[in-house]
Amino acid sequence: MKLQELHRLFLESNGVSTDTRTLKKGQLFFALKGPAFNADDFALEALNQGAHYAIVSNAFSSDHPQLIHVDDPLITLQELARFHRKTFDIPVIALTGSNGKTTTKELINSVLRQKYQVLVTQGNLNNHIGVPLTLLGLNPDHEMAVIEMGANHQGEIAALANIADPTHGMITNFGKAHLEGFGGVEGVIKGKQELYNHLKAKDGTLFYNSQDSIQQKAIIDYSHKVAYGICDSNASTAECNLVVLSETPHLHLSFQGQPFESLLFGLYNAVNCAAALCIGSYFGIPAADAIRGITGYVPSSMRSEIIEWGQQKILLDAYNANPSSMISALKVFDTLDWQHKGVILGDMFELGSDSALEHQNIVNFVQSLGFKKVYLLGEHFTGTKNEYQTFNSTKDFISTLPEEVRTLNLLIKGSRGMALEQILEAL
């Protein structure tokens, strides 16, 4: 079947699904294949549940009239998304980066939606499946799209950019994330810059942090670029657009002479706000409306959340972790005017051969800050040289929970696989 014909069937449908458990009547079902499953096995079930058509592999032997056989359902899903995106002549803003991309995405959306109908990546649908699914949500009401792109190997951002074909884009930063897959920090830089390469080839517009030397170097000879950054005085320049008045307990900021307070904290989140305000300004959002977008954003999903239970305060930042974000979180926690502080850190994953060194570096940094109550969770942290209490897993920590933890104001930070949110239930 030609792509144009499949697209016509898509427009007649109620969208797409890759899971029979959430399938809605009238959707196209794409039978994707994973390491432990082949959704071809569920194609007939999808049709019985009311799927409009099911896209399956050529290897699936059935002549049901509502089956569409293709070489690879995943590639077909991606090609359909790319074809569908091409039918819209709207700004498509892509963003990637080692840290802060989801928060920045939400801030950009919150600012832009003050004036526009925006399609935005939901949750963590930022990979080779999630990006196509997001793009297939485009409809005639949308005036622009904000697409988050995640990756843990070189070549992935280039592939996602080819599908989404962004007109605008930004990289939040280059940090020590997914070092194992990228092959080190230089691999991270090269992989993330694939977004720059795509936009340059398409004559697109880049938003960049003027205070990030790596970003400056990568686009030094490119003309279609817009700078943002943070200032420590009221003298805003072309290189910065947001004044930081105070960092604690939350960010107190000033944009175009208008002071306001955000529910976020930490200098790194001020940079994220600067990016969102820069993009809002570029697309004609009045300053007061853009500020409303920032102040209306409430951190959630275990990303920089402050939780208060009685007298206990908890800074929960356990959606994910890498050395860069770990250092940032510790710096922020150190500046908070909280008494009786305690730090609970969980292992950082996907660091490859750098893992032992990076975990030891974090321990050394914690020691330099002088925290007394520190609990290290996971096999990687347990293997470091330290003077703190260590636990092989989150489960071990919970089962032997030190009573003093209930009296401390806490930072809880670690990789998603550590499931540190379970500690809240124990508390």
CATH number at residue 173: 3.40.1190.10
Based on the domain organization, do 267 and 335 belong to the same domain?
Answer: no
Give pLDDT, residue 190: 83
Same domain, 136 and 173: yes
Handedness of CA 116, 283, 128, 184 (dihedral sign): negative
Are residue 196 and residue 281 in the same domain, yes or no?
Answer: yes
Domain boundary pick from 45, 77, 109: 77
Distances (CA, A) of 214 to 172, 197, 307, 316: 11, 14, 35, 30
Residue ending a domain, choose from 17, 46, 77: 77
**Residue 300 in domain:** no
pLDDT (tens digit per residue) in 130-183 = 999 999 999 999 999 999 999 878 889 999 999 999 999 999 988 665 555 666
Same domain, 135 and 60: no
Q: What is the CATH number of the domain that holds 398?
A: 3.90.190.20
Mean pLDDT of the 380-392 span: 96
pLDDT tens digits, 232-279: 765 555 678 999 998 877 899 999 999 999 988 788 889 999 999 999
Whether 336 and 223 share a structural domain? no
pTM exceeds cut of 0.75: yes
Which CATH number does the domain housing residue 23 bear?
3.40.1390.10
Give me the mean pLDDT over the 50-72 stretch: 95
Q: Is residue 82 part of a domain?
A: no
When pLDDT is cut at 50, 70 and 90, the band that residue 301 belongs to is low
Tokens of 193: 């810059």
Domain that holds residue 64: 3-77
Cβ neighbours of residue 414 under 8 Å, at least 6 residues apart?
318, 321, 344, 345, 346, 347, 348, 377, 378, 420
pLDDT digits (tens, 9 = 90+) for 69-102: 999 999 999 999 999 999 999 999 999 988 888 8
30 contacts 73 by C-beta, under 8 angstroms: yes
Residues 328 and 287 in one domain: no
Are 156 and 190 spatial neighbours (Cβ–Cβ below 8 Å)?
Answer: no
HSE at residue 413, side-chain half, CA atoms within 13 A, is 23
**Is residue 135 within 8 Å of residue 148, measured between CB atoms?**
no
Q: Of 241, 271, 295, which residue constitutes the final position of a domain?
A: 295
